[in-house]
Amino acid sequence: MVEQQYRKLEVASSNLAGGSRELSVKFSKSPKIKTLNLDHLKSKFKELRSHKAFSSKIFLRLTYLGLFLNLILWLILLLVARPTSGLVPLRYTLSLGVVQLGQWYSLYMFPAIGLLVFLSNLILALLIYRKEKLVGLILVGFPVFAQILILIYEILLILIILG
């Protein structure tokens, strides 16, 4: 019974003449073949680039600033963070000092969370922007503010580690 409900999925990719690729999805119980054309994906990407939000200079500047700040976060860690056998501070408070220790690669958690917040808010902003422009701008602006705070925190943490 369960086997009847779930169909086996076979995926076959083939190169066609003319350089386009198609991804064929075949279901064992169904004679229909659904294809996902890469040219279709390119047209969807062009459609996304022509989204009304990207015609707004403020939206574009906030998007580029958020991406730039996240890139700076990654670059700082790539240049400074080195594999160590010891623990490094991950959280620091003025009243208690070092609160949490962890492995050196845990430092990459901060820019990863910043990128995740930025991308999720960008997707939400693109969905909402056509109806509510202000909400879309706030959704893109908030991660920029968060990236600035993460950058300050990361710099201070690195100063504690090096100092």
User: Are residue 132 and residue 157 in the same domain, yes or no?
Assistant: yes
Q: Quick: pLDDT tens for 127-145.
A: 888 888 899 899 999 999 9
Q: Residue 121's CB: how many other CB atoms inside 10 A?
A: 20
Q: Quick: pLDDT tens for 36-70.
A: 677 777 777 677 667 777 778 888 899 999 999 99
Amino acid 46: pLDDT: 74
Whether residue 128 contacts residue 135, with contact meaning beta carbons closer than 8 Å, is answered with yes
User: Are residue 75 and residue 25 in the same domain, yes or no?
Assistant: no
Listed in sequence order, the residues at least 6 apart from 160 whose beta carbon sits closer than 8 Å to its beta carbon are: 89, 92, 98
Residue with tokens 């050196």: 104
User: What is the domain extent for residue 113?
Assistant: 52-162
User: pTM higher than 0.75 for the full model?
Assistant: no
- Say how many domains are in the chain: 2
Q: Quick: pLDDT tens for 62-99.
A: 999 999 999 999 999 888 878 878 888 888 788 888 87
User: Are residue 24 and residue 79 in the same domain, yes or no?
Assistant: no
User: Are residue 77 and residue 33 in the same domain, yes or no?
Assistant: no
Q: To the nearest whole number, what is the mean pLDDT of the chain? A: 77
User: Are residue 81 and residue 131 in the same domain, yes or no?
Assistant: yes
Q: Quick: pLDDT tens for 103-126.
A: 888 888 999 999 999 999 999 998
User: Are residue 35 and residue 96 in the same domain, yes or no?
Assistant: no
User: Are residue 10 and residue 68 in the same domain, yes or no?
Assistant: no
User: Are residue 28 and residue 65 in the same domain, yes or no?
Assistant: no
Give SS3 for 78.
Answer: helix
